[in-house]
Chains A and B, each alone.
Chain A
Amino acid sequence: MPHQWGMVIDLDRCTGCEACVVACHAENNISTVGEDQAARGRAKHWIRVERYFEGEFPDVKTKFMPVLCQQCDAAPCEPVCPTFASYHTIEGLNGQVYNRCIGTRYCANACPYSVRFFNWYNPEWEKPLNLQLNPDVSLREVGVMEKCTFCVQRIKAGEIQAEAEKREVKDGEIQPACVQSCPTKAMVFGDLSDPDSEVSRLARGNRGIKLLGELGTLPKVTYLQKDSWHGSENA
Chain B
Amino acid sequence: MAAKTPEQITDDLLRPLQGASGRYWSFLALFGGIIVAALCAFGWQVYAGIGVAGIRRPVFWGFYITNFVFWIGLSHAGTLISAILRLANATWRRPVTRCAEVITVFALSIGATFPIIHLGRPWLAFWLFPYPSERGIWPNIRSPLLWDFFAINTYLLGSVTFLLLPMIPDMALIRDRASGVRKKIYTAVALGWRGTPKQWHRLESAMQIMAVAVIPVAVSVHSIVSWDFAMAPVPAWHSTIFAPYFVCGAIFSGIAALIIAMALLRKFLHLEDYLLRIHFENLGKLLLVMSLLWFYFVFAERLTVWYGNNPSEMTVFWVTQTGSFSPLFWLMVVCNFVIPFPILAIKKLRTITGCVIASIGVVIGMWLERFLIIVPSLSHKYLPYSFGTYRPTWVEITITAGTFAGMAFLYMIFAKTVPIISIWELKAAPETQSNHAPALAPVTDSGAD
Contact = CB atoms under 8 A, between A and B. Distances in A.
A105 B56 CA distance: 10
B233 A112 contact: yes
Among A101, A104, A117, max chain B CB count under 10 A is at A104
A42 interface: yes
A82 B128 contact: yes
Contacts of B231: 79-80, 110
Contacts of A81: 140, 143
A145 B143 CA distance: 17
A114 B379 CA distance: 11
A144 B123 CA distance: 13
B203 interface: no
Contacts of A83: 127-128, 137, 139-140
A120 B59 CA distance: 13
A143 B140 contact: no
Interface string B95-133: 000000000000000000001001111101101100000
A139 interface: no
Interface stretch (B175-183, B292-300, B380-388): B380-388
A113 B128 CA distance: 27
Contacts of B388: 41
A217 B382 CA distance: 13
Given A79-B140, A113-B382, A121 B145 contact: no
A40 B57 CA distance: 9
A83 B141 CA distance: 9
A124 to B, nearest CB: 11
B43 interface: no
Contacts of B33: none
Interface residues of B, number: 45
A116 B386 CA distance: 11
B198 interface: no
- Give the interface SS of chain B, mostly helix, strand, loop or mixed: loop
B233 A143 contact: no
Given A103-B121, A109-B61, A112-B383, 19 more contacts: A48-B385, A76-B232, A82-B140, A100-B137, A101-B121, A102-B122, A102-B124, A105-B60, A105-B120, A108-B58, A110-B234, A112-B381, A113-B382, A114-B381, A114-B382, A114-B383, A119-B49, A120-B50, A142-B51
Given A102-B120, A102-B121, A114-B58, A82 B378 contact: no
B303 interface: no
A142 B143 contact: no
Contacts of A108: 57-58, 60
Chain A CB count within 10 A is highest, among B120, B137, B145, for: B120
Contacts of B125: 102
A157 interface: no
Nearest to A39: B56
B32 interface: no
Contacts of B139: 82-84
Contacts of B369: none
Instruction: Identify which of B60, B137, B381 gathers the most chain A CB atoms within 10 Å of its CB.
Output: B60
A106 interface: yes
List the 4 closest A-B pairs by CB distance, nearest first. Answer: A103-B120, A143-B120, A120-B51, A41-B56
Interface of B: 48-51, 54-61, 115, 118-122, 124-125, 127-128, 135, 137, 139-140, 142-146, 149, 228, 231-234, 378, 381-386, 388
A229 interface: no
Q: Which of A52, A67, A76, A80 has the most CB of B within 10 A?
A: A80
A80 B378 contact: no
B362 to A, nearest CB: 27
Given A103-B121, A106-B232, A82 B51 contact: no
B49 A121 contact: yes
A120 B52 CA distance: 8
Contacts of A122: 49
Contacts of A79: 140, 142-143, 231
B143 A106 contact: yes
A215 interface: yes
Given A102-B127, A109-B60, A50 B383 contact: yes
A143 B58 contact: no
A44 B128 CA distance: 27
Interface in A216-230: 217
